């Protein structure tokens, strides 16, 4: 990117919320990926990059977390700022205070808010009431921070994004929603295979296809995992019962029995395919140990890049 274009994009991102990739233009997403790679290089080289010195991020957690909490907290430290962990029980929203009142109060203390929650409307309500940037650390509808880190990881391994094919096998959940929007905006062809009744949200599929028209990406949703995975450069899966759906575990095990990513299925992908999983994984369910621990797996590169991608987001908007 030319410096003047970069400056224009950087200016456009200041003060913005990061709620879904659908809200960002392709060049803005690519700017964030490039920024993540730059910050990763600086961190590996031991170069200080205190872009948020003296600033504070409030982290609201209604869902438990490993990668989200640690990566945001460490990320703020490396950027020279501070992060505050706030569980539902730590805040008055646990005792009935409205999201709007909480948002307005926290806006007087903090420079940014990250929330990991269940209902996406909670994220929207928080962002509407807050006067500081809000980051969606995960909701039942989308997981944009993970998707950004995933596309950073693919770019690092493949050297490009445009024209690659990603196959997603499994539940049409928040993860696939964000991957679909990222694929459409970055020119990545994406095929999704799910059992009947577990498809991605139809409105998000349609929105992804509308965005894909501008980049030449192809969005395909089907039932057959072999059809979806054929000649794929990237193979992606997630747990069959995401957080909040644990009561459906047994029912979902039956529905997804033929959707395990294993040695037999990945033979239909390209030989140099990359295996990806947002973690945590249920080994032996959605993916066999031979695949998740195999030579094509890059799951821990993904996990690491949560740190760098989120630092890029925070630095850009805060």
pLDDT tens for each residue of 203-219: 999 999 999 999 999 99
> Higher pLDDT residue, 153 or 96?
153
243 assigned ligand-binding residue: yes
| Cα→Cα distances 227→190, 210, 267, 302, Å | 12, 23, 12, 25
- CA 181 – CA 142 distance, rounded (Å): 10
User: What confidence score (pLDDT) does residue 143 get?
Assistant: 98
Q: How far apart are the C-alpha atoms of 260 and 130, rounded to whole Å?
A: 42
Q: What is the pLDDT of residue 229?
A: 98
143 is in an annotated binding site: yes
What pLDDT sits at residue 244?
A: 73
When pLDDT is averaged across residues 68-76 and rounded to a whole number, the result is 98
Residue 201 and residue 178 in contact, taking contact as beta carbons nearer than 8 Å: no
| 222 in a known ligand binding site | no
The yes-or-no verdict on residue 159 having pLDDT over 80 is yes
Told to judge if 222 belongs to the known catalytic residues of this protein, a careful annotator would answer no
Residues 6+ apart with CB under 8 A from 137: 59, 65, 68, 72, 114, 115, 116, 145
Instruction: Tell me which of 141, 146, 152, 207 is the catalytic residue.
Output: 146
Q: What is the pLDDT of residue 243?
A: 72
């Amino acid at each position: 990117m030319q410096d003047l274009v970069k400056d224009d994009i950087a200016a456009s991102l200041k003060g913005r919320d990061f709620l879904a990739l659908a809200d960002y233009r392709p060049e803005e997403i690519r700017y964030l990926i490039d920024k993540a790679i730059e910050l990763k290089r600086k961190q590996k080289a031991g170069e200080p990059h205190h872009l948020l010195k003296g600033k504070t991020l409030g982290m609201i957690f209604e869902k438990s977390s490993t990668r989200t909490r640690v990566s945001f907290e460490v990320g703020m430290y490396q950027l020279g700022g501070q992060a505050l962990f706030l569980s539902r029980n730590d805040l008055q929203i646990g005792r009935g205070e409205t999201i709007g009142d909480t948002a307005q109060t926290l806006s007087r203390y903090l420079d940014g808010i990250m929330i990991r929650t269940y209902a996406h409307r909670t994220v929207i309500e928080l962002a509407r009431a807050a006067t500081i940037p809000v980051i969606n650390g995960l909701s039942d509808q989308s997981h944009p921070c993970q998707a950004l880190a995933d596309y950073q990881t693919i770019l690092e391994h493949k050297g490009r994004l445009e024209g690659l094919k990603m196959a997603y096998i499994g539940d049409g959940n928040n993860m696939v929603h964000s991957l679909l929007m990222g694929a459409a905006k970055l020119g990545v062809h994406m095929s999704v295979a799910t059992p009947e009744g577990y498809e991605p949200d139809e409105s998000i599929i349609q929105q992804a296809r509308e965005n894909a028209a501008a980049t030449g990406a192809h969005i395909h949703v089907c039932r057959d995992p072999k059809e979806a995975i054929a000649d794929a450069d990237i193979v992606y899966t997630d747990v069959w019962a995401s957080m909040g759906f644990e009561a459906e575990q047994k029912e979902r095990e039956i529905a997804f029995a033929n959707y395990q990513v294993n040695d037999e299925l990945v033979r239909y992908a390209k030989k140099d395919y990359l295996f990806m999983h947002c973690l945590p994984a249920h080994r032996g369910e959605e993916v066999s140990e031979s695949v998740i621990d195999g030579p094509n797996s890059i799951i821990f590169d993904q996990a690491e890049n949560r740190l760098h991608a989120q630092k890029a987001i925070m630095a850009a908007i805060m």
